[in-house]
Chains A and B, each alone.
Chain A
């Protein structure tokens, strides 16, 4: 069953805690992306990666970190430096990295306790 798997579906973070959101894909896509959705704010780009062991900051990268050690995986860590982490996080993939439609996972809702 091909697709993009994001886990967990819901995640709670305590003050000062780092949490990691998982994104795995078996579509053999080169590019992977992390977006954040806030109510009324649309989707804002956090980080993206076009190839293994390489990634670039998006518009709102502060307080986040990523890694791309395998083509299939692009985990996002929300660090304690991110002061407003409550949001719906979406992982996406694309076959290439220019003018390609994105395929999205089902998202992770992160809330602060």
Chain B
């Protein structure tokens, strides 16, 4: 059973607009959440993370929001740029020794100019 779910396989946005990527999780023990960006045939690169003690974390154009009661997080990209076109993975872990990151299936973002 999937513990981290990204229910939208794809998202298309126009350049300059906001991109909102969503992620849901089922394990209440998760307390650390990350977003990664991935281009084809390359390794994922880290974008932004958030601890469960916060509900928002911002880094430039990227903001992650966490709603613990709903077990939901989202990544906002403002403004979106064509170079943002990639697959975005949501990941989660718990503060237990030896727990690796659990990834969602990813959302493919396409930003058109």
Give the residues in chain A near B102, CB-CB below 8 Å.
Answer: 45
Query: Cβ of B85 < 8 Å from any Cβ of A?
Result: no
A58 to B98, CA, bound (A): 11
Q: A90 near B97 (CB under 8 angstroms)?
A: no
Q: B96 near A98 (CB under 8 angstroms)?
A: yes
Interface size class of A (residues with CB under 8 A): 20 to 34
How many chain-B residues does the 8 Å CB contact rule pick out?
29
Q: Which of B41, B93, B99, B103 interacts with A43 by CB under 8 Å?
A: B103
The A-contacting residues of B in range 41-75, CB under 8 angstroms, are: 41-46, 49, 51
A105 to B36, CA, bound (A): 13
Query: Cβ of B101 < 8 Å from any Cβ of A?
Result: yes
Q: B43 near A42 (CB under 8 angstroms)?
A: no
Give the residues in chain A near B103, CB-CB below 8 Å.
Answer: 35, 42-44
Q: B97 near A98 (CB under 8 angstroms)?
A: yes
A92 to B101, CA, bound (A): 11
**Which A residues are within 8 Å of any B CB, using their own CB?**
4, 6, 33, 35, 40-45, 48, 50, 56, 58, 88, 90, 92, 97-99, 101-107, 109
**Which B residues are within 8 Å of any A CB, using their own CB?**
6, 9, 31-32, 34, 36, 41-46, 49, 51, 89, 93-106
